[in-house]
Chain A
């Protein structure tokens, strides 16, 4: 397949736009991680970065617990304590759970829907770099005068310049703005990907449940982030431009901050939990060898939770004095939201019931999730009762509630996902024995740490205060809790050891190690760069499972095919799979943003303008470069090899036309049989209709699902696209 005539261009000639940097091409090697637009690499980047922040946030937690281990603790001053607990919360919410979920969204969703990547791969990379830089920006405050200290919720007027002079909170404000942009970008990308890039036959109600939870979480992000964006701008204006939005003396109302924050903040907690719920919903069926109980109900309850999640925010403000009408209305809505949540719990139980249970580590974490989350949910229900909540507000009871749902829930769920998908991502299995130790140590430590908070809270111990006096009767449970925190730390060390050991051992992993159910397992482990050899056609939920098993008349499982028979082989040169090219520009554009923000923190407009120019030039260069580079002249006879990731970036005539143009080919190409199969000659001739036809050269192995990549061949090479 030599290079044929270039496709028609608007300007009539191929003239690559002037570029300052040669387009990176490598897809392996350290440098490739900085320029990769591969959703899998980006997912791994998100995961590793998030886990690092988990360790940092955990360290902050240990500091808190050391300080509170005894009354009148002297480990941290009040000022430092405020920074530590603020950063602990901000880190865990924005730098751990959200990006960890993003890691799985990014890695799994295209695989679960049968696509080669997300709709906008370079935008995806941008989102990651903004996240990393936002997190670094936030933590740079450590060496620049002090970390944010207004709590993760930043209540006004405490956050005003009057009560919080110094730059601490400015770092918080701008850091969160950067992170918010990152998440918004990610959510748009995922929504378009899930709606538009599904493989043939993958109806919405055949998608894996994790993908559904991703879609729902993305909508939650899309509609809640703008609200906190406004809130952050307003407090920034108060602090830096002298406005009075939250300053009562100037006519402002601090309660407005609370409304705006919690209008975001409540959907945010569903953003934190739904992905983990999705993971648990994937794990349980596999290890029970039963389908998810009530799949459509699980989907609709997720949608219901999201929808209702926008209608309960005032339950964070029951003690503010909003009046009986508002508080009772939201009390009712809060009680109602327990319904779809409870439905999910019962469906998980129904999934396990009667199943052939294999108690491997992922299932242990999943079951741990269900039980711990239920406990947290129960304390949440008590919060819904306004009189009870009045007593619980600002005490450790609330801290107990949200740690049970966020740690006992989200974190345990995420670990279930980590153990389960580890072979898919890394081609290795984490050790089972160490995994079980990790689970039990963590479970015990977690309950020792946070269980006592219920008691302490009801005994009146206030939260967000750096110490407590002797003689309150709180000493014993605080000591227990601190001990528990170190047990959690030990559990985490076990996990880290497991990872390291696994990496060193490099034991081979069987294809389909868990006898799984969903589409991502049809690819070899670890997933190859191009995802699927051919875009699969989907016929049911749990597509992969139904290719292996069917049921006899008695409802018993009957194996029809061994997964080894149809797990895809690795691609070779003859497969002619085209992937979009790596790019520097997402990273370049991302770098501009923290520069702008440093300028604003220090009121140095020149710095901000420099940052803006960096960002704009990054975006322009990005807009001008094509999604996929035409082949390097040095490789024209090439099958790209070596650093090009094994013959995948083939310089064939369809290069500009790569992704997204499957169907006409399939229609004309005589691919009458199995899906968009690779039929080089057929598709090459059948679909071709003049120069820039989307006829893919060596067989379009991408089906409908591939759209979104630039490169309609009748468009100019220098595509303006994302």
Chain B
């Protein structure tokens, strides 16, 4: 019976590697990580619905300026690049904590939050520009779909930033040592997912006519 109970990340086998300390589970994968992936699978359906709504309403507006008339593609491209780089800093944060470098982890986490905040600022600037130029959420169905989709995404990013800053705070208080690297990993999964959604949004909503 003892042999069945798999705790793959314990004991001699895992000795060489900074231990994940995943809780021992029937499958060997961590509960929290599994939960996050399940949640992300669910989020695909959420963003899928929003993206489809935009695709449906892309050309159905009756009046008013539509997003395509107002896009500043260079600006949004820079924004997108910033968000992509934030994924890099996120994964570097994880890499740092897996090595046991709490300080560096904090730096990269803060960087990620900063890049995310930059992205959000870009969004806010973009939105206010659109609104000033006469396109609001209720101008027409295209603008509505645009704002709801990017708005939902922006809220997700913002929640991510709050989460990252909380992790920085906890790390400063010593609550995130190397053995708890998984917490960073799980936060990272969320963050990368939000980035992936933007990859899709940028192409479908901005780039494709």
A residues at B contact (CB < 8 Å): 9-12, 119-120, 184, 187-189, 191-192, 195-198, 200-202, 222-227, 229-231, 233-234, 237, 241-245, 249-253, 256, 260, 537, 620, 623, 660-664, 666-667, 671-672, 674-676, 703-709, 712, 714-716, 718, 720-722
Contact = CB atoms under 8 A, between A and B. Distances in A.
A660 B179 CA distance: 15
A198 B10 CA distance: 19
B173 to A, nearest CB: 7
Interface string B137-148: 110111011001
A101 B58 CA distance: 41
Interface in B96-126: none
Contacts of A224: 45
Contact of A222 (B42, B137, B140): B42
Contacts of A705: 26
Contacts of A660: 23-25
Nearest to B162: A616
B32 A237 contact: no
Contact of A197 (B6, B26, B173, B176): B26
B46 A226 contact: yes
Specify which of B11, B26, B42, B62 lies most central, judged by the most chain A CB atoms within 10 Å of its CB. Answer: B26
Given A10-B177, A10-B180, A674-B1, A188 B35 contact: yes
Given A11-B173, A188-B38, A223-B42, A243 B144 contact: yes
A249 B43 CA distance: 31
Nearest to A616: B162
A234 B141 CA distance: 11
B170 interface: yes
Given A12-B174, A120-B31, A196-B25, A227 B141 contact: no
Interface stretch (B49-57, B75-83, B198-206): B49-57
B24 A715 contact: no
A666 B1 contact: yes
A663 B5 contact: yes
A229 B43 CA distance: 11
Contacts of B42: 184, 188, 222-223, 225-226
A243 B138 contact: yes
A716 B177 contact: yes
Interface string B7-30: 100110000000001011111010
A708 B1 contact: no
A662 B183 CA distance: 22
A661 B23 contact: yes
A10 B57 contact: no
B2 A666 contact: yes
Nearest to A252: B141
Nearest to A666: B2
Contacts, number: 189
A249 B62 CA distance: 8
B26 A198 contact: yes
B41 interface: yes
Contact of B31 (A12, A251, A671, A707): A707
Given A119-B31, A245-B57, 9 more contacts: A192-B38, A226-B43, A237-B144, A241-B137, A245-B144, A253-B60, A672-B2, A704-B24, A704-B26
B25 A197 contact: yes
A295 B124 CA distance: 56
Q: Which 7 A-B pairs have the closest CB atoms?
A: A11-B174, A663-B5, A10-B177, A226-B46, A242-B138, A707-B23, A660-B23
B24 to A, nearest CB: 5
B208 interface: no
Given A253-B56, A256-B56, A200 B5 contact: yes
B61 to A, nearest CB: 5
A720 B168 CA distance: 13
A496 to B, nearest CB: 38
A712 B21 contact: yes
A78 B61 CA distance: 36
B11 A260 contact: no
A676 B1 CA distance: 8
A537 B1 contact: yes
A709 B174 contact: no
A671 B2 contact: yes
A498 B166 CA distance: 52
Nearest to A12: B174
Contacts of B1: 200, 537, 666, 671, 674-676, 703
20 contacts: A10-B177, A10-B179, A184-B39, A191-B35, A192-B35, A196-B25, A200-B4, A226-B43, A231-B49, A243-B137, A243-B141, A660-B23, A662-B24, A663-B2, A667-B5, A676-B1, A704-B24, A706-B24, A712-B179, A716-B177
B6 A252 contact: no
Contacts of B183: 720
B55 to A, nearest CB: 11
B34 interface: yes
Interface in B130-158: 137-138, 140-142, 144-145, 148, 152
A126 B24 CA distance: 24
A663 B7 contact: yes
Contact of B175 (A119, A187, A718): A718
A9 B45 CA distance: 40
B174 to A, nearest CB: 3
Contacts of A671: 1-2
A237 B137 contact: yes
Given A243-B144, A664-B7, A226 B180 contact: no
B173 A196 contact: no
A196 B179 contact: no
A5 B26 CA distance: 30
Contacts of B152: 233
Nearest to A722: B32
Given A188-B38, A250-B141, A195 B5 contact: no
